[in-house]
């Protein structure tokens, strides 16, 4: 049976807006952690899976509602997979404009011409009784040496997905979700929801 309400374990407005659109076809009330005054969960894990679980489990316990935790990040090959799980913290004071400049500068310094990267996303859907389910998605692409586009959030203006000649920041939300790491993880979550 489908839950009536779920809580999104995030305070990131960009992510929540994408998630609300993805869950719009379902008769589910989608609440954000902010709307319920839920605390920020410290991301002490070293993998996307651990952090997604930490967020979902803790907020499911506190709110008494099923809770969806999303942990995602940008993994750059020439930087050994960084910033990875630390993507949100790569930006000083969450200033992603600065973070993108720093990322481009770091890549130039490596003198490695291969700027391949991918976004990863792990979703954990946790219930107050401890039951949990995981769904994963990934999108491959590369980092561009200059920003372009104004949509999206985070590193979108410098990430060009494979097979396209524009960055994620030039995609509409729906277009981005049809190929993004989060969109792909959600496809799996939604097929699971459909089976309930």
The secondary structure of residue 38, as a DSSP letter, is P
Q: How far is the CB of 129 from ligand IMP (least distance, A)?
A: 25
Determine how many CB atoms are found less than 10 A away from the CB of residue 196. 7
Distance CA 52, CA 72 (A): 8
Contact flag: residue 156 with ligand IMP (CB under 6 A): yes
Q: How far is the CB of 90 from ligand IMP (least distance, A)?
A: 7
| Nearby residues of 24 by Cβ (< 8 Å), 6 or more positions away | none
The yes-or-no answer on residue 97 being catalytic is no
Choice between 1 and 172, CB closer to ligand IMP? 172
CB distance 36 to 63 below 8 Å: yes
List 71, 77, 97, 114, catalytic entry: 71
Contact flag: residue 32 with ligand IMP (CB under 6 A): no
- Where in 52-81 is the site for ligand IMP (CB under 6 A)? 70-74
Q: How far is the CB of 12 from ligand IMP (least distance, A)?
A: 5
Distance CA 179, CA 70 (A): 17
Q: Structure tokens of 9?
A: 């374990």
Q: Which of 28, 31, 88, 144 binds ligand IMP (CB under 6 A)?
A: 88
Contact flag: residue 155 with ligand IMP (CB under 6 A): yes
Contact flag: residue 180 with ligand IMP (CB under 6 A): yes
- The residue whose two tokens read 């524009």 is 166
Contacts of residues 45-48 at CB distance under 8 Å and 24 or more positions apart, as own/partner, are 45/71, 45/85, 46/85, 47/85, 47/122, 48/72, 48/73, 48/85, 48/120, 48/121, 48/122, 48/136
Distance of CA 158 to the CA centre of its chain: 16
Judged by CB under 6 A, how many residues of this single chain contact ligand IMP?
18
Contact flag: residue 120 with ligand IMP (CB under 6 A): no
Contact flag: residue 167 with ligand IMP (CB under 6 A): no
Q: How far is the CB of 164 from ligand IMP (least distance, A)?
A: 14
Q: How far is the CB of 1 from ligand IMP (least distance, A)?
A: 29
Residues that bind ligand IMP (CB under 6 A): 12, 43, 70-74, 87-88, 119, 152-156, 168, 180, 182
């Amino acid at each position: 049976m489908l839950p009536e309400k779920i809580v999104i374990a995030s305070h990131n407005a960009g992510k929540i807006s994408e998630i609300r659109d993805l869950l719009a076809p379902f008769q589910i009330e989608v609440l954000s952690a902010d709307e319920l005054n839920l605390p920020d969960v410290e991301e002490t894990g070293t993998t996307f899976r651990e952090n997604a679980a930490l967020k979902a489990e803790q907020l499911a316990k506190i709110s008494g509602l099923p809770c969806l935790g999303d942990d995602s990040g940008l993994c750059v090959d020439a930087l050994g997979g960084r910033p990875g799980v630390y993507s949100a913290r790569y930006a000083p004071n969450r200033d992603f404009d600065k973070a993108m400049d720093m990322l481009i500068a770091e890549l130039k310094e490596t003198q490695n011409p291969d700027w391949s990267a991918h976004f990863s996303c792990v979703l954990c859907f946790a219930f107050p009784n401890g039951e949990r389910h995981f769904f994963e998605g990934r999108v491959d692409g590369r980092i561009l040496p200059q920003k372009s586009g104004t949509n999206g959030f985070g590193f979108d203006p410098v990430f060009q997905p494979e097979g396209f000649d524009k960055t994620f920041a030039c995609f509409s939300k729906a277009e981005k979700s049809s190929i993004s790491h989060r969109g792909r993880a959600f496809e799996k979550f939604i097929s699971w929801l459909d089976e309930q």
